[in-house]
Amino acid sequence: MSIDLSGKTALITGASRGIGEAAARIMAGYGANVVLAARSTRDTARIAADIGDRALAVTCDVAQYGDVENAVDEAIRSFGSLDILVNNAGVIDPIARIEDSDPEAWDQVVDINFKGVYHGLRAAIPVMKRQGGGVIINISSGAASSALEGWSHYCATKAAVLSLTRCAHTECMADHIRVVGLSPGTVATDMQRAIKTSGVNPVSQLDWSQHISPDWVGEAIAWLATDAGRAYDGGDMSLRTDEARRAVGLIG
């Protein structure tokens, strides 16, 4: 299908690499203005420069609500609206069994993976409500419904994000704000390198060739931002299924 995001503005968290970078480049290719948010602008500034005038890099630690609110404000100041929010920022390190985990590091994963999504929802929903609508895409995971050794922090936070997606959908659908999750499966990013290095649980044993490209996820994000993705509102679209891949146009 033909995707047209002309005139739309998308704010993407965790946009310095991997899925976030791919989403920014692909959505810009479909005509969107893109705001690349990350804790440092070292990489996002370079990516934004590559994209051109319709891209902006902002410093944003999603664990800090004020940073997220400022990123939303910057999107509106620069481009006049916020039409799409991609809550992508997430971490999995340090991988450890519960008995060996560092409580402070465990807490930090909660702050980024779970509270970061809440912060995005909280900052974006009032803006989108005033505008008359919008789309919020939360990057989920099969870990949301799985129990994996060493991943208690990741599984728990992704399960919480799925619940947030459902709650936000229930609260926002009457205001024409779509909230949808995307579960990409395993993706060839730095996160998979960390998982591989850990040697913990079966995911670490996967061959690199079994992971999909971040570009596939970027394409799925762009597709979900259109009305074509409405069937998945309030839940997670799994990119591991042929049905979803075919709908996005990744396979014939």
CA distances from 105 to 12, 111, 154 (A): 24, 10, 12
Q: DSSP alpha helices (H): ranges in the chain?
A: 18-29, 41-51, 65-79, 103-109, 116-131, 152-172, 190-198, 214-224, 242-248
What do you get for the CA distance between the two ends of the chain, in Å?
12
Cβ-in-10-Å burial (0-12, 13-18, 19+) of 197 comes to exposed
Nearest CA to 35 among 124, 112, 102, 159? 124
Longest Cα–Cα distance of the chain, Å, equals 50
Beta bridge mates, 10: 34, 84
What is the rounded distance in angstroms from the CA atom of residue 206 to the CA atom of residue 122? Answer: 37
Q: Verify whether residue 154 is a known catalytic residue.
A: yes
The secondary structure of residue 119, as a DSSP letter, is H
List 57's β-bridge partners, or say none.
36
- Specify whether the CB–CB gap between 121 and 166 falls below 8 A: no
Catalytic residue among 30, 118, 154, 232: 154
Residues 114 and 157: beta-carbon distance below 8 Å: yes
| Closest listed residue to residue 4, CA positions, set 190, 245, 205, 222 | 222
Active site residues: 154
